[in-house]
Structure 1
Amino acid sequence: MPEPLLIERAGAVLHLRMNRPQVHNAFDPALIAALTGALDAAATDTGLRAVVLCGLGPSFSAGADLQWMRDMAQASETANREDALQLARLMRTLDTLPKPTIAKVHGPAFGGGVGLVACCDIAIGTPQARFGLTEVRLGLLPAVISPYVVDAIGARQARRWFTTGESFDADTALQLGLLHRVVPADALDAAVDAQLALLGRAAPAATAAAKALIRAAGDDLDADARDRSNAALIARLRVSAEGQEGLGAFLEKRTPAWADPDIDGGTGPGGQA
């Protein structure tokens, strides 16, 4: 059996390519475990600046594998709970990864595939991409991915798409905020590389802190506690080595030491998804 996930390092960029094209990159335990393991390793890789997630074949990801769903339908509620927790761990790991992430969505994404897109910091798609949260048609719900999808598109929109189960196109995904850009298929690689180039000029520690700051904005803190937390954060960054280098480079009109001119990432030997 081929590996469910192809992992390729191109300089400071990690490319994760879901490799189950025969089932439209649907999730099964092996793919979930491979993705989670790769992201866990990426989190502690000090030389890594960005992660690009894509799928091989015609689709980005069709969500849950049908055979897996059949098997779990025969399992106990306890077994199903433990199984769902593995998917929940994958989504949380991707969402909280201290590296910027880009979803490269060249084709359809349904169910859990939408969750992956929502968990990435930047999502770029093509007109061939379609989306759907169709779980209600099976008597189910997008429960595990719901925090991330609601965060991406808002509660008002989620009410519609969660309850009707209808699919929507890339332009609608752009309007909803699920995608940040829609580009022609032959421009997808260049669009992703342009984002990687911008990330290469951003300070790595500040980038990780920015992601944590945005997550903390949703915490249930009073105004004074939030002000203290944010003041402590910026003070810590100002006196850090990275902060000192960034300010010094700006004042001296030079490029900061962390800038990586080669972070465009490329498409690698695997080519475009």
Structure 2
Amino acid sequence: MSYSTLEIQRNGAVATLWMNRPEVFNAFDEQLIAELTQACQALDHDDSVRVVVLAGRGRHFSAGADLNWMRRAASHGEAENLADARQFARMLRTLATLSKPTVARVHGAALGGGTGLTAACQMAIASDDAVFSTSEVRFGIIPAVISPYVLQAIGPRQAQRYFQSGERFDAARALAMGLVSEVAPAAQLDARVAALAESLCAGGPCAQRAARELIAAVHGRPLGEATDEDTAQRIARQRATAEAREGIAAFLEKRPADWLR
């Protein structure tokens, strides 16, 4: 597929999805939202893609909502705003539920929805010049659609502050709160993203999907016999898969597993 607001770059099994509206700092409007949804769906169904990296061309990752889009939304009624919000929510959920690892490559500004995109990816590496915010309240609105992803990343206590203050915070603060998993000097950002992608490609794809399901099932669950039984069944099922047999055989035979060939 061809896109007017995106560029997809392939490097082996790694696909980098570049938001390509540098003239507006990759702010999103209806077109970018629709194309991000379509591109994520296409990459998810491409078995040759093992890792998806989300990045932004130009000086910034994403400045959030396009001002012209916001201006149009302000003149719309509730029904039209609801339709727009549903499309945005669908895009974020499509990104967040990809069946393969996703990494946000964040530099410069990641404001409002840009923070939401960061949180919707499973992992994020930020350059040390990155700046984040959930600034919606300063426009008289709320970070409603991005809230499930940002809350999952930073927790309700931090959200109480930043959802209400709209303050900007730097990459070091984002790391401390859990929004990003690593901070790198700007000159090393691409190298660190590439290193993480290479590590992710080393894992078995079925095992990685099972690992994500494991996290969703176990997080917040109390210890007890039910949790013991669930986790025991999960590892028993996984050990019986062809992928597990191949992975263990490759280790014992000191050769690459077949998913690395």
- Output the TM-score relative to the length of structure 1: 0.90
Measured after TM superposition, the shift of residue 31 of structure 1 is: 0.4
Percent identity, aligned pairs only, is 52
Asked if structure 2 preserves the Cα contact closer than 8 Å seen for 1:7 and 1:17, the reply is yes
Tell me the secondary structure at the aligned position of residue 154 of structure 1: helix
**C-alpha distance in 1, partners of 2:202/2:59?**
33
Tell me the secondary structure at the aligned position of residue 87 of structure 2: helix
The letter of the residue matching 2:16 is: H
The residue that corresponds to 2:64 in the other structure is: 63
The residue that corresponds to 2:35 in the other structure is: 34
Tell me the secondary structure at the aligned position of residue 140 of structure 1: coil
**C-alpha distance in 1, partners of 2:168/2:107?**
16
**Structure 1's 222 and 83: CA in aligned 2 closer, same or farther, altered over 3 A?**
farther
The residue that corresponds to 2:175 in the other structure is: 174
The residue that corresponds to 1:50 in the other structure is: 51
CA RMSD of aligned residues (A): 1.7
The residue that corresponds to 1:126 in the other structure is: 127
**C-alpha distance in 2, partners of 1:253/1:127?**
39
* Equivalences, count: 259
Deviations 1:39-58, CA, capped at 9 Å, x for gaps: 11111211111001110111
Measured after TM superposition, the shift of residue 216 of structure 1 is: 2.6
Tell me the secondary structure at the aligned position of residue 97 of structure 1: coil
The residue that corresponds to 2:145 in the other structure is: 144
Measured after TM superposition, the shift of residue 222 of structure 1 is: 9.0
Deviations 1:175-230, CA, capped at 9 Å, x for gaps: 11111111111111110111011112111111122122222334779955544443
Deviations 1:58-103, CA, capped at 9 Å, x for gaps: 1100111111111111112111111101111111111111111111
Q: Which moved more, 1:235-244 or 1:223-232?
A: 223-232
**C-alpha distance in 2, partners of 1:24/1:121?**
23
- Stretches of structure 2 that go unaligned for 5 or more consecutive residues are none
- Output the TM-score relative to the length of structure 2: 0.93
**C-alpha distance in 1, partners of 2:6/2:30?**
12
The letter of the residue matching 2:103 is: I
Tell me the secondary structure at the aligned position of residue 124 of structure 1: strand
The letter of the residue matching 1:173 is: A
Equivalent residues in 2 for 1:229-240, closer than 5 Å: 229-240=230-241
Measured after TM superposition, the shift of residue 253 of structure 1 is: 2.9
**Structure 1's 44 and 223: CA in aligned 2 closer, same or farther, altered over 3 A?**
farther
Asked if structure 1 preserves the Cα contact closer than 8 Å seen for 2:221 and 2:227, the reply is no
- Stretches of structure 1 that go unaligned for 5 or more consecutive residues are 261-273
Deviations 1:10-46, CA, capped at 9 Å, x for gaps: 2211110001111111110110111111111111211
Deviations 1:115-136, CA, capped at 9 Å, x for gaps: 1111112211112210111111
Asked if structure 2 preserves the Cα contact closer than 8 Å seen for 1:51 and 1:101, the reply is yes
**C-alpha distance in 2, partners of 1:221/1:86?**
35
The residue that corresponds to 2:247 in the other structure is: 246
Measured after TM superposition, the shift of residue 252 of structure 1 is: 2.7
More contact order relative to length (CA 8 Å, sep ≥ 6): 1
The letter of the residue matching 2:35 is: A
**C-alpha distance in 2, partners of 1:141/1:183?**
30
**C-alpha distance in 1, partners of 2:157/2:137?**
17
Deviations 1:225-259, CA, capped at 9 Å, x for gaps: 54444333222211111011112222333321112
The letter of the residue matching 1:190 is: A
**Structure 1's 87 and 218: CA in aligned 2 closer, same or farther, altered over 3 A?**
farther
Tell me the secondary structure at the aligned position of residue 258 of structure 2: coil
Asked if structure 2 preserves the Cα contact closer than 8 Å seen for 1:98 and 1:211, the reply is no
Measured after TM superposition, the shift of residue 112 of structure 1 is: 0.7
The residue that corresponds to 1:265 in the other structure is: none
Tell me the secondary structure at the aligned position of residue 231 of structure 1: helix
Q: Which moved more, 1:202-211 or 1:224-233?
A: 224-233
The letter of the residue matching 1:248 is: A
Q: Which moved more, 1:136-145 or 1:4-13?
A: 4-13
The letter of the residue matching 1:14 is: A
